[in-house]
Amino acid sequence: MQPTSSEPRLRTRTFGSMGTVVSLTVASASYAQTAIDELESAVAVVEGIFAEFDVTFSLYRRGSEASRLARGELTLAYASESMQDLYAEASEWRLATDGAFTAERPDGALDLSGIVKAHAAREAALSLSALGLWNWCLNAGGDVLVSGSPQPDTKQPWLAGIMDPLDRQALLGAYPLRTMSALATSGSAERGEHIWAVGSGTPEFAQVTVAAMDIVTADVLATAIVAGGPRMLDQAVGKWDAEVLAVRRNGTLLATPGFRNTA
């Protein structure tokens, strides 16, 4: 049966960027061609924003500015203003997290991948608002940012699924993004061991998910807690308005109140 025009419909488009898959889902009450055209225009804008960040910051592109910095072919002093600005922000986060979040690899190479995806998502959100879109969900490789509702008339929240790092076919739960509009997950499930523990050894947490009002805050804290362990988790909850779900390597969970009813 053909749904009525008053019923909301979810339309999703995906594209590849920064070595991952980015998806944009838009809720629309219309089944007209104009709604489809609106989505296509929105995806084109979002894809363009991610492409701009990708050209400069992606370590998956050999010719990117970030790759040249990592290989030592370019120094930060001669890098672009956008590169220097993002590095300065990453340095501020390093101080704020007592070194748990850092833009340097153990070998000293610059790596801003822990913050750049979230910045692209934040800029995309501003563009979607400028286009007059208020009900959407943007997922950039596990960094989720939402606006409005999948059912605008009911104010139902978007649900962000959280994968079980020990069983990638299963979910730990689905977090309702109401007051918190951003959710980020860091760990070894998607990209293997790419986060270094503070000090030495293997990170205690296999995966950390953080919900926050801001996608950059959520992304940075998720990475910092993986690197810093329980001490950083306590610091993050005490210092920032955030909810945390951490999975130890044996599968046990540590969850703040906001996650206890969903995981």
CA distance 167 to 186: 16
Fold of the domain spanning 9-260: T-fold (3.10.520)
Token pair in block for residue 129: 């608002």
Q: Could you read off the pLDDT of 230-261 as tens digits, one per residue?
A: 999 999 999 999 999 999 999 999 999 999 76
Percent of the chain's residues with pLDDT above 90: 67
Mean pLDDT of 17-25: 92
Q: Which residue has the higher pLDDT, 201 or 175?
A: 175
Q: CB neighbours (10 Å) of residue 185?
A: 26
* CB 220 within 8 Å of CB 113: no
* CB 161 within 8 Å of CB 135: no
pLDDT band per the 50, 70, 90 thresholds, residue 197: low
CA distance 136 to 120: 16
Could you identify the residue written with the tokens 């929105």? Answer: 42
CA distance 249 to 158: 28
CA Rg value for the chain = 19
Q: Which residue has the higher pLDDT, 242 or 190?
A: 242
Across 22-36, 105-119, 206-220, 225-239, least confident range: 22-36
Local structure of residue 5 (DSSP, 8 states): T
Residue count of the chain: 263
Mean pLDDT of 61-87: 92
Locate the domains of the chain by residue range: 9-260
Q: What is the mean pLDDT of the chain?
A: 87
Q: Which residue has the higher pLDDT, 125 or 34?
A: 125
- Residue-level pLDDT at 169: 87
Closest CA to 163 of 193, 140, 186: 186
Q: Which residue has the higher pLDDT, 210 or 114?
A: 210
Q: Could you read off the pLDDT of 42-63 as tens digits, one per residue?
A: 999 999 999 999 999 988 888 8
Q: Which helix (H) or strand (E) holds 176?
A: strand 167-177
CA distance 182 to 105: 26
Hey, is 212 helix, strand or coil? strand
CA distance 111 to 68: 11
CA distance 259 to 263: 6
Angle subtended at Cα 216 by Cα 66 and Cα 12, rounded to the nearest 5 degrees: 90
Q: Which residue has the higher pLDDT, 198 or 14?
A: 14
